[in-house]
């Protein structure tokens, strides 16, 4: 039995782990499904290290990119009909897939744990505040073993020391990356950065 087989035991929803995997696999290309499995493996390691619920982190990881390849038009309809921030619709699936993924986690998979739903919702941009589960997913998505970007080794090193340090690193580097690529920055991304930098400066 692999580590991933042990992860999710089913106490958060009526869905079996096998059924969740089958459903997730249908939503995306094989390479992204492999990413999801690596995010889960990494989330479990972080959950064990930092004392988060392994089951909750496993489930959040398995569902985090559920909507990533969904049709942007359908995502927009969900954003608008569910009263999510309509400004998201101007930034394409990159920003919408977290909140829309959380909507499916709740409505399709019956997840009611707000910490899991928030973790999925916030996994792309982070949150002004994040639960332990939220931080685990946010960082695991960034440092899973398949990631190769410049700076990933530093992110992995920080994740071994402090979830907050690693989260701040991701928040800062993402903004720098977006500016360098001349991509528009969703205002929520800036709010999150401001919160984290203010707390960091406040501490030093
Ligand atoms: P993935 O779903 O596993 O690929 O990982 P993420 O959900 O973290 O990534 C989605 C993408 O959104 C990444 O390429 C980020 O750089 C990008 N992203 C994050 N914040 C913003 C933002 O404010 N604006 C734009 N345009 N892209 C963003
Ligand atoms: Fe994502
Ligand atoms: Fe991801």
The confidence score (pLDDT) of residue 77 equals 97
Closest CA to 46 of 57, 35, 56: 57
Domain span including residue 166: 3-203
**Atom 20, ligand 1: which residue's CA is nearest?**
125
CB of 58 within 6 A of ligand 1: the answer is no
The confidence score (pLDDT) of residue 102 equals 98
User: What domain count does the chain have?
Assistant: 1
CB of 125 within 6 A of ligand 1: the answer is yes
What is the number of the ligand 1 atom nearest to the C-alpha of 189?
23
Ligand positioned closest to the Cα atom of 174: 1
The confidence score (pLDDT) of residue 179 equals 98
Distance CA 167, CA 173 (A): 10
Residue 204 CA, ligand 2 centroid: distance in Å: 31
pLDDT 10s per residue in the chain (204 long)? 333 444 555 556 667 888 899 999 999 999 999 999 999 999 999 999 999 999 999 999 999 999 999 999 999 999 999 999 999 999 999 999 999 999 999 999 999 999 999 999 999 999 999 999 999 999 999 999 999 999 999 999 999 999 999 999 999 999 999 999 999 999 999 999 999 999 888 775
Distance CA 103, CA 67 (A): 10
CB of 189 within 6 A of ligand 1: the answer is yes
Is the sign of the CA dihedral 27, 31, 34, 38 positive or negative? Answer: negative
The confidence score (pLDDT) of residue 203 equals 72
The confidence score (pLDDT) of residue 43 equals 98
CB of 94 within 6 A of ligand 1: the answer is yes
The confidence score (pLDDT) of residue 202 equals 79
CB of 124 within 6 A of ligand 1: the answer is yes
What's 101's domain CATH number? 1.10.3210.10
Half-sphere exposure of 147 (CA within 13 A, CB side): 20
Residue 147 falls in which region: left (phi positive, over 0), alpha (psi -120 to 50) or beta: beta
The Cβ of residue 81 has, within 10 Å, a number of other Cβ atoms equal to: 9
Residue 101 CA, ligand 1 centroid: distance in Å: 14
């Amino acid at each position: 039995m692999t580590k991933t087989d042990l992860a999710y035991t089913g106490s958060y929803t009526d869905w079996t782990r096998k059924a969740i995997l089958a459903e997730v696999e249908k939503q995306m290309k094989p390479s992204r499904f492999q990413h999801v499995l690596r995010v889960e493996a990494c989330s479990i390691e972080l959950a064990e290290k930092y004392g988060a619920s392994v089951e909750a982190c496993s489930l959040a990881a398995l569902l985090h990119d559920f909507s990533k390849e969904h049709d942007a038009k359908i995502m927009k309809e969900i954003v608008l009909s569910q009263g999510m921030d309509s400004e998201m619709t101007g930034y394409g699936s990159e920003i919408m897939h977290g909140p829309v993924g959380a909507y499916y986690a709740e409505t399709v998979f019956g997840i009611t744990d707000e910490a899991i739903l928030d973790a999925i919702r916030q996994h792309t941009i982070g949150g002004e505040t994040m639960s332990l589960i939220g931080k685990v997913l946010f960082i695991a998505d960034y440092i899973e073993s398949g990631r190769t970007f410049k700076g990933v080794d530093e992110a992995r090193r920080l994740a071994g020391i402090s979830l907050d340090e690693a989260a701040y690193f991701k928040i800062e580097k993402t903004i720098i990356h977006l500016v360098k690529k001349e991509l528009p920055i969703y205002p929520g991304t800036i709010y999150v950065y401001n919160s984290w930098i203010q707390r960091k400066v406040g501490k030093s």
